Amino acid sequence: MGSQGQAATDTGGRTKAATAHFVFVPLMAQGHLIPAVDTALLLATHGAVCTIAGTPATAARVRPTVDSARKSGLQVRLVEFLLDYAEAGLPEGADNMDNVPPECMKNYFEAVALLSGPIERYLRANGPYPTCVVSDFIHPWTTVLAANLGVPRLSFFSMCAFCLLCQHNVERFGAYDGVADDNEPVVVPGLEKRFVVTRAQAPGFFRESAAWKDFADYIERARAEADGVVMNTFEEMEPEYVAGYAAARNMKVWTVGPVSLYHHRCGAGTTLAARGNAATIDADECLRWLDGKEPGSVVYVSFGSIARAEGKQAVELGLGLEAAGHPFIWVLRNADDYDEATRASLDELEARVAGRGLLVRGWAPQVMILSHAAVGGFVTHCGWNSTMEAMAAGLPVVTWPHFTDQFLNEKMAVEVLGIGVSVGVTEPLMYRAAEKEIVVGRGVVEDAVRSVMGGGEEAEERRRRARALAVKARAAMQEGGSSHRNLLDLVDRFKPASCGINEACS
């Protein structure tokens, strides 16, 4: 794979790396997996060797992207590891978070932790020897993996520094102490600007339930023991929060985003349509549809890989999009799971908006769509990948958070960056302690879409800020930019020591 892929052999017969060799252990969920793989590919473009560990279902989702990178000469490999379903008490084939029943989620995390041994044995048997483990922060067991290998470990976050710092400060300063109501607002401590959150919106990672306390504590210990942080954001967007989080954690933070821009580099454009999953709609068909629309006229609507509008909400959302009057592409994940009445309503909507509205039942090539000149706005659940992809494309957003970090990401878009309009959801729509119906009405949807897509000084200013942010995002990834410098620094810093690989791993 080129001279940089050559390896030397030490006196013990062990193959050692001639360059940095990063081992990525991503969380097996789309929102974490995709940016981790993109980060690995970016490091590989700067001469690093990257190994990505995953389960079969996970590997299948990203294999086309990785194979394309390998064909272009990048030193990246994707290695599959089977879970022990019987040992962990998991249903056969439940090897990705998308297909794990909620009641089995603890078993799933226990099963993934058992991969430490197989991954270590593979890395010892298949050179070059690793120089750094980059693991999703929800894999605390990788502390043992890295220690056994005798190499540093970096925590990977597919989220922004603002979100992490807010969560950290709320816990560190006991902001919820004495607050009985999960929906009672509190001010995030330790920040210059005033931001208000509730425990329901920002409980801390795995802090929603007492049943997960031990796991949450384990994650926190592992985060505190990491040798640094890799984050899918860029300094120019949130310099005070990147610096604040680095100071709060007392560790180096490498911002390397927007990592989705890897797919815009020379020769990588063909991976846009395949990024993360096989699209339900043909990419060429989608492009032809978009090519027939005026610049900036189309609204793209997607709630990502986990969040989903329930039947009643889907109908209201569709009616709101119809009333707003703008062309739209609406991605409906698991649309076949809706009841007959909801499916009939969606079919009727599709017939009424034929030519103006495109309903995609399943998956769509999101980055490719957002990059098209016809798209002018994005209705999003505020997952950080989607938020960053909107920023990289220079698009304003309608924010509709569903759970966990999405509420803080909404604040980032609306209150920090000024590129978003909220639909007003203030409580989690998923993973709630008690069932509660929360429906955003068609009128609210219509108003929010018109606010983002319409004319007027406020809307134009929002678009101007979004376009300026896209310029900064691209500059960060170009030579001399902050993210580009951080990628180079990672490759340089984690090269094998001049005396060879850490003797602790002999």
Q: What is the DSSP string of 70-106?
A: HHTT--EEEEE----HHHHT--TT--SGGGS-GGGHH
Is the previous residue joined to 128 through a cis bond, with omega within 30 degrees of 0?
Answer: yes
Averaged pLDDT score across all residues of the chain: 90
Write out pLDDT tens, residues 341-391.
999 999 999 999 999 999 998 888 899 999 999 999 999 999 999 999 999
In angstroms, rounded to a whole number, what is the distance separating the alpha carbons of residues 327 and 358?
A: 8
Q: What angle do CA 28, 32, 36 make, to 5 degrees?
A: 100
Q: Is the dihedral of CA 21, 158, 417, 467 positive or negative?
A: positive
Q: pTM, whole model, 2 decimals?
A: 0.90
CA 488 to chain centre: 22
Whole-number pLDDT of residue 210: 87
Whole-number pLDDT of residue 422: 97
Whole-number pLDDT of residue 263: 85
> Does pLDDT of 279 surpass 80?
no
Per-residue pLDDT, averaged over 452-456, amounts to: 92
- HEC letters along 405-424: CHHHHHHHHHHHCCCEEECC
Nearest CA-CA partner of 290 in 276, 273, 266, 314: 273
Whole-number pLDDT of residue 16: 63
Which ranges constitute the DSSP H helices of 292-383?
311-324, 340-352, 366-370
> Does pLDDT of 249 surpass 70?
yes
Write out pLDDT tens, residues 392-417.
999 999 999 998 899 999 999 999 99
Nearest CA-CA partner of 405 in 45, 162, 175, 191: 162
> Does pLDDT of 260 surpass 60?
yes
Which residue shows structure tokens 């793209």?
300
> Does pLDDT of 505 surpass 50?
no
In angstroms, rounded to a whole number, what is the distance separating the alpha carbons of residues 56 and 54?
A: 7
Whole-number pLDDT of residue 502: 45
pLDDT > 70 fraction of the chain, expressed in percent and rounded: 90
What phi-psi label fits residue 220: left (phi over 0), alpha (psi between -120 and 50 degrees) or beta? alpha
pLDDT class of 9 with cuts at 50, 70, 90 = very low
pLDDT > 90 fraction of the chain, expressed in percent and rounded: 75
Residue length, the chain? 506
In angstroms, rounded to a whole number, what is the distance separating the alpha carbons of residues 285 and 154?
A: 41
> Does pLDDT of 151 surpass 80?
yes
b/e code 479-501 from CB counts within 10 Å (16+ = b): eebbbbbbbeebbeebbbeeebb
Write out pLDDT tens, residues 92-139.
888 888 788 888 999 999 999 999 999 999 999 998 999 999 999 999
Per-residue pLDDT, averaged over 252-263, amounts to: 95
> Does pLDDT of 477 surpass 70?
yes
Write out pLDDT tens, residues 299-358.
999 998 788 888 999 999 999 999 999 999 999 988 888 999 999 999 999 999 999 999
CA 497 to chain centre: 32
Structure tokens at 358: 């495109």
pLDDT class of 267 with cuts at 50, 70, 90 = very low
Per-residue pLDDT, averaged over 245-267, amounts to: 89
What type of residue is 39? T
Write out pLDDT tens, residues 166-216.
999 999 999 999 999 999 999 999 999 999 999 999 998 888 888 999 999
